[in-house]
Amino acid sequence: MSEVDPTDELKRAPAPAEPEPAAAPEEVPEVSAPAASQAPAAAPSHAAPSHNPPSYVLFAVVAVLAAAADLISKEWATDKLTGPQRALARDEDFVVIQGLFELRYARNNGGAWSALSTLPEIWRRPFFLFVSTAASVFITSIYHRIDRSDWAMKWGLPLALGGAVGNLVDRVRHGFVVDFLHVFIEMKGDRKTWPTFNVADVWIVAGVALMAISLFSGKSRLTAPDEEPEPEPAPRGP
């Protein structure tokens, strides 16, 4: 029997299988800083309503015309309804609508419906001057806080201001307000009268009525004095 060479056995033995190389991990693309900055920002949950104030030119024109109409009408009434050269030449008040409306000159030392007219002059005149001035300043200060679409408030404020200025000028010049419009109703010989008023009072009542319409209709929105519309976000660059 022949001897087996161990080296021949090793040569005939199969070589061990080499391990397969591990798969390279997939590369994750990096996001550059500019690309990340281009991502759209999340929309806010609720945008603040924009404030669009009305024009002060309209405010000034309406207020000036209202005050001028009142003062001119008072000058006409003083000239035509009083004095020896009374143009209407009537002993009684000038009747415009029989049994309803007439012109009657009157001096009102007080406020509406002659309120506080019995106060001493030293207190009455400064008080009404202060009230009229304060009302004018207040109306002017809140006009820019209303929105242009609020038509009732946009017209009501300057009308009320024109009436307040008209009566204020009278108080400064004369110490009283000239009234000459008189409404009444005659029924069975009995006369029910409304206190005599003037054109300024008409503007004030009309202005307050328009402001009430705006408030009760829910369309009025006054912005806070320090409230400003939020600026729109600036567009992001590439």
Task: For 87-199, list the strands marked E by DSSP.
Answer: 94-97, 101-108, 177-187, 190-193
Active site residue 226: no
Instruction: Residue 216: name the closest of 130, 150, 123, 155 by CA.
Output: 150
Instruction: Residue 70: name the closest of 195, 205, 208 by CA.
Output: 205
Catalytic residue among 147, 179, 190, 226: 179
pTM above 0.75, yes or no: no
- The 10s digit of each residue's pLDDT in 71-83 is 999 999 998 888 6
Angle of the 56-81 helix axis to the 199-216 helix axis, nearest 10: 150
Q: What is the pLDDT of residue 83?
A: 63
% of the chain with per-residue pLDDT over 90: 27
Active site residue 79: no
Catalytic residue among 5, 91, 201, 226: 201
Report in angstroms the alpha-carbon separations of 124 from 74, 92, 171: 21, 31, 10
- The 10s digit of each residue's pLDDT in 189-212 is 787 888 889 999 999 999 999 999
